[in-house]
Amino acid sequence: MTQENQPVIYDENQIIAERRAKLTEIRQTNNAFPNTFRRDHLTSELIKQFNEFSKEQLEEQPTIVKIAGRMVLKRVMGKASFATIQDMKGRIQLYISNDHTGEPVHAAFKHYDLGDILGAQGTLFKTKTGELSIRVTDLQLLTKSLRPLPEKFHGLADQEQKYRQRYLDLITNEETRKVFAIRSKVVQAIREFFVERDYLEVETPMMHSIPGGASARPFSTHHNALDMALFLRIAPELYLKRLVIGGMEKVFEINRNFRNEGISTRHNPEFTMLEFYEAYQDFTYLMDFTEQMLVHVAKQVLGTTHITYQGKTMDLSISFMRLTITQAIQKFHPDYTTEQLNDRDYLIKKLQALNTHFNPNDGIGGLQLSLFDETTEHLLFEPTFIVDYPAEVSPLARRNDNNPDITDRFELYIAGREIANGFSELNDPEDQAARFQEQAKAKDAGDSEAMHYDADYIRALEYGLPPTAGEGIGIDRLVMLLTDSPSIRDVILFPQLRQED
RNA sequence: GGGUCGUUAGCUCAGCCGGUAGAGCAGCGGACUUUUAAUCCGUUGGUCGCCAGUUCGAUCCUGGCACGACCUACCA
């Protein structure tokens, strides 16, 4: 904080210097930052309520209103002026004239700048073009804006600045405001969906002493008083299942996960995950449940299940396809024969030829998955559940009753991206202990994303986890889909960026 | 990590095949009592991302660096 009432001289441009001079002048006669003005209406509510009224109706029954907001447009014309005020709901036009405010108020207004926060009182009327406006009788500067806004017509174009100075993006870009309004509604609709179904919303730790629940590298930190290493969580899964063991048979959590990995248009180091668990259900139930939830969310938020994403359309209300990994590969690449896809040597040769990353020690299932990731995942535009994930890459999922090499697990792909991952939970503590041991071995062998052995979780399982189904849904990616956003940064208010300077 | 492109006034952008820069918006001054990105007249404002090199001379050419966007690879 700088000393009060001591204008600080910065090395800054002329526009800021002029605005600062205006502020200094205001300080000399008034409280420059008053907090006594109270509005009684929001702009778009006024328009909703009064736009249907005729010019004459408004004159016959004068309605006095008080609004406040940021001045985003200004048109001065001698003895009368217009200004457009923007608040959280929209915009409305002010008409300021010597006749109604007196000359001094209008004169002061002429020196107000775009970006200033104003409070206005006046009477609703319609201009000769029929625009609902406020004939101002009282006008107050509530907050002086010292920095000029981005160009009023083009707005903020620089992507970096949009992310770094999101407030400017929000002031100038209606689309951005809409995206985050939709994001809020998406989360709201999801909550409703779970609460209606008797789920309990919970919050589990963000700081884990053993990072678990996913295969990813964690951020690490240190607790001074306890002198212990802590990790920002990569997933809440193991804690949520402890709660199911504790008798919370239907739980969900919407919260942040942190993964110390690459940043891209689809990845932010912290991202929002919905995870939910329901006892006495399995993964097939989850697939139906997910379809219903997405339909609910789309209808609540967009009013339709027809989605356009990057120029292509889909309908979320149509039953989603369900394919095994090899079926999906063959659907898009019919030239692969079933024999080839079950031939280790063939798969390894093919993956090498594709120049892709894979683990040559994987079994058939792991190799098939690598081939799927490389050749098919990005082509799954229509919502598709991929099932039959190999046990070796699913250390927390229940084995299939007929084939112990695969698990009762699915991933949901929409628009070429993984949106959800769900499975029947592994509730056999001895099998879980063995899987952790395998993971620990892989970790020792250099796999930085392999899971740790979590003895407390095994102890919890030994008390008995009821048969349970659980799923995670990437909220950011879902919002990308529902807002037609090409980058995850467009749906996160303050995405991770490199440090400035 | 690799590739492509970018960085010029507060903002949106031109421009210069090497002679140190322009427009619109915003600002300032003036005209204008129903404008709609108001209009009209005048006007202020720039270390052309940073550092080297080549050159008589670099915003422009070369090299390096920084930052960013997009694509690509790994992770959701």
Tokens of A500: 């400035």
Taking C1' of B25 and every protein CA, the nearest residue is A151
CA angle A8, A11, A17 (to 5 degrees): 65
What is the rounded average pLDDT for all residues in chain A?
A: 92
| Residue A423 near residue A396 (C-beta atoms within 8 A) | yes
| Residue A86 near residue A171 (C-beta atoms within 8 A) | yes
Nucleotide nearest to A161 (CA to C1'): B68
pLDDT score, position A500: 64
Nucleotides of B under 7 A from a protein CB: 9-13, 24-29, 31-39, 44-45, 67-76
What single DSSP character describes residue A399?
B
Is residue A286 predicted with pLDDT exceeding 70?
A: yes
Reported as a pLDDT band with limits 50, 70 and 90, residue A73 is very high
pLDDT score, position A474: 94
Strand partners, A81: A76, A96
Residue A293: enclosing H or E segment and its boundaries? helix A283-302
- For A164-218, how does the pLDDT look when each residue is reduced to its tens digit (9 = 90+)? 889 999 999 999 999 999 999 999 999 999 999 999 999 999 999 999 888 888 8
Q: What is the DSSP string of A16-49?
A: HHHHHHHHHHHHHHS-SS---------HHHHHHH
Nucleotide nearest to A266 (CA to C1'): B76
**Nearest residue to A419 via CA among A381, A371, A376:** A381
Over residues A272-298, mean pLDDT: 97
pLDDT score, position A164: 86
SS3 A405: coil
| Residue A415 near residue A459 (C-beta atoms within 8 A) | no
SS3 A313: strand
**Nearest residue to A83 via CA among A66, A102, A64, A70:** A70
CA–CA dist A208, A235 (Å, integer): 10
A311 phi/psi in degrees, rounded to 5: 90, -10
pLDDT score, position A4: 31
What single DSSP character describes residue A315?
E
CA–CA dist A413, A192 (Å, integer): 24
pLDDT score, position A2: 33
Is residue A8 predicted with pLDDT exceeding 50?
A: no
Reported as a pLDDT band with limits 50, 70 and 90, residue A426 is very high
Displacement of CA A81 from its chain's centroid (Å): 40
Task: Give A100 CA → B43 C1' in Å.
Answer: 32
CA–CA dist A226, A478 (Å, integer): 38
pLDDT score, position A331: 92
CA–CA dist A484, A84 (Å, integer): 29
Over residues A251-275, mean pLDDT: 92
Residue with tokens 């447009």: A73
Give whole-number Cα distances, A255 to A142, A205, A242, A369, A468, in Å: 36, 10, 17, 28, 21
**More confident of the two residues A481 and A356:** A481
CA–CA dist A134, A136 (Å, integer): 6
pLDDT score, position A447: 80
Least confident segment among A9-23, A252-266, A294-308, A385-399: A9-23
* Sheet with A270-279, side-by-side order of all strands: A200-201, A250-258, A270-279, A468-474, A417-424, A409-414, A384-387, A321-324
- For A151-165, how does the pLDDT look when each residue is reduced to its tens digit (9 = 90+)? 888 888 888 888 888
Task: Give A144 CA → B6 C1' in Å.
Answer: 34
Reported as a pLDDT band with limits 50, 70 and 90, residue A498 is confident
Tokens of A204: 């589990």
pLDDT score, position A3: 32
Question: How many CB atoms are closer than 10 A to CB A314?
Answer: 17
pLDDT score, position A92: 97
Question: How many CB atoms are closer than 10 A to CB A179?
Answer: 22
- For A19-67, how does the pLDDT look when each residue is reduced to its tens digit (9 = 90+)? 999 999 999 988 999 999 999 999 999 999 999 999 999 999 999 999 9
Question: How many CB atoms are closer than 10 A to CB A467?
Answer: 12
Task: Give A355 CA → B52 C1' in Å.
Answer: 40
Task: Give A151 CA → B22 C1' in Å.
Answer: 18
**Nearest residue to A386 via CA among A418, A364, A356, A354:** A418
CA–CA dist A353, A377 (Å, integer): 18
| Residue A182 near residue A297 (C-beta atoms within 8 A) | no
**Nearest residue to A293 via CA among A425, A197, A201, A200:** A197
Nucleotide nearest to A216 (CA to C1'): B75
Tokens of A8: 């600080």
Nucleotide nearest to A164 (CA to C1'): B68
CA–CA dist A443, A217 (Å, integer): 11
**Nearest residue to A322 via CA among A422, A447, A458:** A422
CA–CA dist A264, A122 (Å, integer): 49
Nucleotide nearest to A77 (CA to C1'): B32
Nucleotide nearest to A151 (CA to C1'): B11
Assess: ipTM above 0.90: no
Reported as a pLDDT band with limits 50, 70 and 90, residue A389 is very high
CA–CA dist A348, A352 (Å, integer): 6
Task: Give A126 CA → B49 C1' in Å.
Answer: 49
- For A403-421, how does the pLDDT look when each residue is reduced to its tens digit (9 = 90+)? 999 999 999 999 999 999 9
- For A432-474, how does the pLDDT look when each residue is reduced to its tens digit (9 = 90+)? 999 999 998 888 887 878 889 999 999 999 999 999 999 999 9
CA–CA dist A70, A119 (Å, integer): 9
Task: Give A154 CA → B51 C1' in Å.
Answer: 34
Least confident segment among A70-79, A239-248, A370-379: A370-379
Task: Give A235 CA → B69 C1' in Å.
Answer: 30
